[in-house]
Amino acid sequence: MRFLFTCGGTAGHINPALAVAGRLRELMPDSEFLFVGSGRDLEKRLVPAAGYELRNITITGFARGVKPADIKHNLKTIRNLSVSGRESREIIDSFRPDCVIGTGGYVCWPVLKAAARRRIPTLMHESNAVPGLTTRMLSGVADRMMVAFPEVSEHYKKPERVVVTGTPVREDFETMTREEAKRKLGITSKPLVVSFWGSLGADGMNGQMADFIRLNARSGEMHHLHATGSGETGKQRMIERLGAMGVYGLPQWEDLRSYIDNMGTVMTAADLIICRAGASTIAELTAEGRASILVPSPNVTNNHQEKNARHLEAAGAAVVVTEDVCTGEQLYNQAVSLLRDRDRLSAMEAAAAKMGVRDASERIVDTILTLLKEKADK
């Protein structure tokens, strides 16, 4: 079998594709795989590192502003649509896939559209609670729309093609208990709060977290692990902020890092997580059954992070704080309140776990193989 995956731009698009491809490779080791991307750095790093061939097409997204630069960018995107369509057709005709799977990003549109016109089985996965522009465009084209959240069929042109699969989580999530994970991290006497804003961080929110760290350094209320993002530059910037607040040196219960490289263990050990509301993060929170305080990024297309966060809030799994009203003291007080109310915290964990899908990769693979069988039987 030949499987073609297309995903672009972010780890939230790439990692689910890699997880599913890995599972297919385990089941059918003689299969061939090809990834099609948009040429961004993360794709060029992650996909070949996982052992897959990557080809890129010329594609850009649409800017939603009306400034001259936005208009110029959109004119370029329109030109690129023609180029990407031709490139997609050439790749498909050369590779001759038995199936094409998209997991998000503008790159999915020309590739899946070209495959569908050739009557090749096509599937699209949407990690967010509300579909983005590309997914909406493809919802009438793809044979199957695989979604992370239940009860979202009304957002799709052909609800009968929607399958709830969840979103695959990274492979480093471990099957140990919270207590075992805490012992592995050397945490024994305090509840653990973990905070992060993604690999690139968020400078404004790190400013708020400096106040959070200042308050906890003084009180010792919790063991707190914060990842600043942006490499050592982000960590150094945080140290400078703390110094300006009169905090020189941190107590042992404050763990400041530039990046969390053992996220599976850390999230398993956590009593509470403070973070953004990207689709992959939501999948991990629910798969692990972890209570959270979510501060959605306001700088994303279609405000999808707040929609993701509100979905968890409605289920009782999270507290949502919008960035425009967020302060470090507010986050600290909310965290302390939750940690002291074990009944509420447990209820939030149960609500998150109820939403979680730990076997998302298997569900997606099953959907792919079922579609292939249906097409072969016709």
In the predicted model, is pLDDT for residue 80 greater than 90? no
pLDDT-based confidence at 198, cuts 50/70/90?
Answer: confident
Q: How far apart are CA 133 and CA 44, in angstroms?
A: 24
In the predicted model, is pLDDT for residue 201 greater than 70? no
Looking at residue 171, what is its pLDDT? 65
Residue 154 and residue 147 in contact, taking contact as beta carbons nearer than 8 Å: no
Model pTM above 0.85: no
pLDDT-based confidence at 189, cuts 50/70/90?
Answer: confident
Residue 189 and residue 219 in contact, taking contact as beta carbons nearer than 8 Å: no
The residues that bridge with 244 in the sheet, in sequence order, are none
What average pLDDT score do residues 190-205 get? 86
Looking at residue 105, what is its pLDDT? 87
- What is the chain's mean pLDDT, rounded? 91
Q: Which fold has domain 2-169+358-377?
A: Rossmann fold (3.40.50)
Looking at residue 75, what is its pLDDT? 79
Residue 217 and residue 251 in contact, taking contact as beta carbons nearer than 8 Å: yes
Looking at residue 73, what is its pLDDT? 67
Residue 86 and residue 63 in contact, taking contact as beta carbons nearer than 8 Å: no
- Each residue's pLDDT tens digit, 239-290: 999 999 999 989 999 999 998 888 889 999 999 999 999 888 999 999 999 9
Q: Which fold has domain 178-355?
A: Rossmann fold (3.40.50)
Q: 204, exposed or middle or buried, with CB in 10 Å at 0-12, 13-18, 19+?
A: exposed
What average pLDDT score do residues 56-71 get? 77
In CATH terms, are 2-169+358-377 and 178-355 the same topology?
yes
* Among 166, 118, 168, 167, residue whose Cα is nearest residue 143: 118
Residue spans of beta strands (DSSP E) within 116-206: 122-126, 144-147, 162-164, 192-196
What average pLDDT score do residues 88-115 get? 96
Q: How far apart are CA 205 and CA 203, in angstroms?
A: 6
Q: How far apart are CA 219 and CA 251, in angstroms?
A: 10
Length of the chain: 378
Read off the tokens for 193. 């709060």
Higher pLDDT among residues 199 and 169, named by residue: 169
pLDDT-based confidence at 61, cuts 50/70/90?
Answer: confident
| Segments making up each domain of the chain, as ranges | 2-169+358-377, 178-355
